[in-house]
Amino acid sequence: MSKILDDLRYADSHEWVKLEGDIATVGITDYAQHALGNIVYVDMPEVGDEVTQGEDFGAVESVKAASDLLSPVSGEVVEINEALEDEPELVNQDAFANWIMKVKVSDPSELENLLDAAAYAKVCEE
Amino acid sequence: MKTYDKLIFELSRPGRKGYSLPADNFGVNGIGEIPADLLRKNEAELPEVSELEVVRHFTNLSSKNFGVDTGFYPLGSCTMKYNPKINEEVAALPAFNNIHPLQDATTAQGALELYYNLQKMLSNIAGLAEFTLNPYAGAHGELTGLMVMRQYHMSRGDNKRTKVIVPNSAHGTNPASAMVAGLEVVEVKSKPNGSIDVEDLRPLLDETIAGIMMTNPNTLGMFETEILEIAKLVHEAGGLLYYDGANLNPLLGKVRPGDMGFDIMHINLHKTFSTPHGGGGPGSGPVGVAKHLVEFLPNPRVKKGEDGKFFVDFGEESLGSVSTFFGNFGVMMKAYAYILTLGKENIRNVGPLATLNANYIKESLKDDYLLPIEGVCKHEFVFDGLKDKSTGVTTLNVAKRLLDYGFHAPTIYFPLLFHESMMIEPTETESKETLDDFIEVMHKVAKEARETPEEVINAPLTTIVRKLDETGAAKNPILSYRALKEAEK
């Protein structure tokens, strides 16, 4: 069974987000890393890029497939996880510890469009 | 010799030779008038080996190759049918082999006639007006077809049409080709059986849609039963329909994409028309179009004059050239031989036999493998891995284990609609005995997965190289001998 953390919000496209102040930390879920298999590349945005809720901000490439990353929030990218440039497999090791980007959110109320842990668990079961 | 794994560079010894050149009678040292700044300063680092070493090297390597000639190759979406040897004989005919694309058309009438006849045959098979045989392979055909689509809209001043609809079950080349053609990809959802969701399609159809790309049967091997409705909707919205010919095999001589409403399509001669592919030979991706698009086909085109003579033509409205000269002519000769060998009647047996073989395997294995879509498939079908998910054995493990039993693996992890996709396409050329052998081995692997899962997880156990480091290969590819030497340092 894949791990789901209670204190995060989730998109049905398998990204997680954690909001602290107006900074949202974004990554992919344990379910997603498991479904993708060994990850070989994470295509990340650049600091300063604008991202929009529901639109792609990058991609994850595994030995099986390449998959778009859809941003769970809108705002400006303030930091990316540079460690993933050389070691994308960190996402396989712990998808929740190894976040992909941090976003200064323009509209915190957007998080209400996302799923809580229980609702996301249901998406994974389907 | 079973463990032979040398590179030819490793056999090299200074001064060893397998040839002798005649004396230089002209005093130019083979260099002639090449400007000094274009001449290389150092000797080329070619392997120095004897003729016997070269022969042994390549003979040994060739015995390691797996192909349709050595065993069953159920690679889904690839139509790995047998390549009849008469095709090779035809393609090797010196009268065709030794002509030059720049020689005068009046002296190459036979070759032009073959090109002309083949495009006519394909037009009849497809139910379209005309074909170009110039594109080199399937994805190149897709790009060419989309360029025709774009050219059509632009010729009408309809410049807003920049989007192409692609189902989420499509072959990966479809969205890739659309991007390369400078068009934007819009995804349409498919229903659980892989068919396009017409209700999801409807709202996407507006004046920005250039067209839709589809394959029928779809990538789950199911026939798109609503194709006429889809064609009507897309045409009413001013778009065109593109048919990805990768899955044409089951329809050959039975159903024509043109009759379903498609305006443009490509055919993979190397799949449907039996020419070797997948490391065995180059491809060919002819593109056919409906009557209103003929003028946009790429140059050069082969036409027949009123005097019965064939000539090369360059159309003014053409989208331009997509290849040097006429594409892969040798492949066309093989496909031409294949069509003539089968003839009009026998070609109609291809689809039903391919369909029968696929359904036979599907029904025989669905007790052990998870069949997500019930019903009669066409030439191929998809399992979502083993039925028993408790063993920890994945589709990748099963695929590797098949190698131990002497079969090529099916296509795995495509389509993306399921997590453990395993796409099996037997083709029409396999006997019932071969299919039964495969079914028996698949059952055996499923049993192993239940009883001795570690054996399957650690497969392959008997191949020359064991499980490969796919992550390492993707992250740090070593693609040349020089790079290997560097990496070893």
Q: Which domains does chain B have, with CATH numbers?
A: 86-341 (3.40.640.10), 350-474 (3.90.1150.10)
Q: Is it the case that residue A1 has pLDDT exceeding 70?
A: no
pLDDT at B45: 84
B58, pLDDT greater than 70 = yes
pLDDT digits (tens, 9 = 90+) for B209-246: 999 999 999 999 999 999 999 999 999 999 999 999 99
Between A35, A40, A65, which is nearest B471 by CB? A40
Structural domain contains residue A113: no
Residue A78 lies in a domain: yes
In a domain, A119, yes or no: no
Contacts of A88 in chain B (CB under 8 A): 475
Query: What is this structure's pTM?
Result: 0.89
pLDDT on residue B417: 85
- Sheet with A23-28, strands from edge to edge, namely A9-10, A15-20, A23-28, A101-105, A75-80, A50-51
pLDDT at B24: 76
Lowest mean pLDDT among B16-30, B127-141, B144-158, B267-281: B16-30
Asked whether the bond before B217 is cis by omega within 30 degrees of 0, the reply is: yes
Half-sphere exposure of A42 (CA within 13 A, CB side): 27
Q: Are B8 and B49 in contact (CB under 8 A)?
A: yes
> Which residue of chain A has the CA closest to B413?
A64
CA distance B445 to B386: 10
Q: Please report whether residue A41 resides in a domain.
A: yes
Residues of chain A contacting B474 with CB distance shorter than 8 Å: 40-41, 61, 63
Which residue range(s) make up the domain with A50? Answer: 9-106
pLDDT per position as a tens digit, A51-91: 999 999 999 999 888 889 999 999 999 999 999 999 999 99
The confidence band for B484, taking pLDDT boundaries of 50, 70 and 90, is: confident
Is beta strand B163-167 parallel, antiparallel or unpaired with respect to B130-132? unpaired
DSSP code for B386: B
Tens digits of residue pLDDT in B148-167 = 999 999 999 999 999 999 99
pLDDT at B173 over 70: yes
Q: What is the pLDDT of residues B414-441, one digit of tens each?
A: 988 898 999 999 999 999 999 999 999 9
pLDDT at B169: 87
> In this structure, is residue A3 part of a structural domain?
no
For residue A1, being part of any structural domain is answered with no
Q: Do the domain assignments include residue A112?
A: no
Nearest to B470 among A38, A41, A65 (CB): A38
- With a cut of 80, say whether residue B142 has pLDDT above it: yes
Confidence of residue B369 (pLDDT cuts 50, 70, 90): very high
Q: How confident is the model at residue B284 (pLDDT cuts 50, 70, 90)?
A: very high
Residues of A in contact with B396 (CB under 8 A): 37
**In which band, very low, low, confident or very high, does the pLDDT at A118 lie, cut at 50, 70 and 90?**
very high
Q: How many domains does chain A have?
A: 1
Banded model confidence at residue B1, pLDDT cuts 50, 70, 90: very low
Average pLDDT over residues B464-472: 85
Q: What confidence category does residue B465 fall into, taking pLDDT thresholds of 50, 70 and 90?
A: confident
What pLDDT shows up at residue B2? 59
Q: In whole angstroms, what is the distance from residue B393 CA to residue B450 CA?
A: 9
Terminal alpha carbon distance of chain A: 13
Query: Beta strands B240-244 and B209-214: pairing type?
Result: parallel
User: What is the per-residue pLDDT for B140?
Assistant: 96
Q: Which of A37, A40, A64 sits opposite B475 (nearest CB)?
A: A40
pLDDT band at B280 (very low <50, low <70, confident <90, very high): low
pLDDT at res. B297? 98
B264-266 vs B240-244, strand pairing mode: parallel
The residue of B397, B470, B476 whose CB has the most chain A CBs within 10 angstroms, and thus the best one to mutate to test that interface, is: B470
* pLDDT tens-digit readout, B301-358: 999 999 999 999 999 999 999 999 999 999 999 999 999 999 999 999 999 999 999 9
Neighbours of B447 (CB within 10 A): 12
Q: Which chain B positions have a beta carbon within 8 Å of A38's beta carbon?
A: 470-471
Mutation pick from B396, B413, B468, B469 vs chain A, by most beta carbons of A within 10 Å, is B413
CA atoms within 13 A on the CB side of A27: 21
Range of weakest confidence among B359-363, B404-408, B466-470: B466-470
Question: Is ipTM > 0.85 here?
Answer: no
Which residues of A fall within a CB distance of 8 Å from B471?
A: 38, 40, 63, 89
Arithmetic mean of pLDDT, B272-282:
85
How many percent of chain B have pLDDT more than 70?
98
Give the DSSP letter string of B263-323. SEEE--HHHHT----SSSS-----EEE-GGGGGGSPBPEEEE-TTS-EEEE--SSS--BSS
Q: Is residue A2 part of a domain?
A: no
CATH (domain of A78): 2.40.50.100
Locate the chain B residue with the closest alpha carbon to A38: B471
